[in-house]
Amino acid sequence: MTACNSQSPDTAGSPEASPGAGGSGSQTLVMATSADYPPYEFIETASGSEEIVGFDVDIAKYITEQLGYELQINNVDFNGLIPALQAGRADFVMAGMTPTEERKQNADFSEIYFEAKNTIVAQQGSNLTTTESLSGKQVGVQLGSIQEGEAKEIEGANVVPLNRINEIIQEIKAGRIDAAIVEDTVAKGYVESNPDLEFNPIPNAGESGSAIAFPKGSPLVSEFNTVLQEMKSSGKVEELVTQWFGDE
Ligand code: ARG
C-alpha cells in the first residue's frame, strides 16, 4: 500500500530514496513536496544540514507520528508531485496544494487545512497592482500551479511558467519578467527578504486552499482526515498557523 513496495531508484531530490528499510519495524511513509514555498516548506540551510522544514512539514510530522508511521520527505518540482503519487514514488503530497477538480481526477485529497489568497509580486513602484495592469506584461507563475491557470485567464498577459518560486523571484529582480502571481503568505516572505519587490493582493478567481494529496483510492485519506480533524478541534493547527504565518 505504500511507496516502499514500489519504490523506484530515481525518486527525486533525496540521497536515501528507499524508505522502509529501517529496522524499527514501523512503516515509512514517503511525502513528496516542492520545497520552494516558505513558510509551507523550504530548505533550512542555516543549520548547515539542508533540512526541509515548514508548516506543512510540521503537520505531516504530527499526523504520521499520531498514526505510528516514520516519515521521509522528498523534494520534487511542483509539476512532478501528482505524477510522483501516480507512479507510486510517494504516499502523499503536502505542498500547499489546492484540491482542484482537475487534480481530483488523478489524486484523492484530505480536507482543506489552510486558506490563501493570490497576489501580484513585482518590482517596487512598478504599479502592477491589478490583473488588468498585467496586460502586455511577462507574468511568471509556477509550472502546474493554480496560479498558472489564473494567469492564463488574464487578457493580454504573457505567461512565463517556471519550475521554482525562487527562480520566478530572481527573474523579476533581474527585470527579465515584469511580475508574478504568488500566494499571499509566500509572497510576503519573499518580499520581506527582497525589499526591492512589493506584493498586492488580487481577488481569488477560482479554487483556493491547501489539502493533502494521495494516490487515488489510498486508505491513508481517512486516517489522515481523522487526525486533521483532531488537530483542528484541539487548536494544534491554529498553533502551527501562528508559529509559521505569524500575525495572520
Ligand atoms: N496553491 C497553489 C496550487 O495548488 C500553489 C502551490 C505551490 N506549492 C509549492 N510548494 N510550490 O497550485
Residue 85 contacts residue 3 (beta carbons within 8 Å): no
CATH superfamily label, 3-114+209-245? Periplasmic binding protein-like II (3.40.190.10)
- 182-218 pLDDT, tens digit per residue, is 999 999 999 999 999 999 999 887 888 999 999 999 9
User: pLDDT class for 245, splitting at 50, 70, 90?
Assistant: very high
Residue 128 contacts residue 149 (beta carbons within 8 Å): no
Q: Is 118-202 in the same CATH topology as 3-114+209-245?
A: yes
CATH superfamily label, 118-202? Periplasmic binding protein-like II (3.40.190.10)
User: Distance from the CA of 98 to the center of ligand 1, in angstroms?
Assistant: 7
Residues 206-234 have a mean pLDDT of 97
Beta 158-162 vs 138-142: how paired, if at all? parallel
- 102-150 pLDDT, tens digit per residue, is 999 999 999 999 999 999 999 999 999 999 999 999 999 999 999 999 9
User: Ligand 1 pocket by C-beta < 6 Å: which residues?
Assistant: 34, 36-37, 40-41, 78, 95-98, 142, 145-146, 165, 183
Residue 77 contacts residue 143 (beta carbons within 8 Å): yes
Ligand 1 pocket test: which of 53, 98, 110 has the largest number of ligand atoms within 8 Å of its C-beta?
A: 98
User: pLDDT class for 45, splitting at 50, 70, 90?
Assistant: confident
Residues 23-50 have a mean pLDDT of 89
Beta 41-44 vs 36-37: how paired, if at all? antiparallel
Whether 228 shows a pLDDT value over 50: the answer reads yes
What's residue 186's pLDDT?
A: 97
The domain spans of the chain are: 3-114+209-245, 118-202
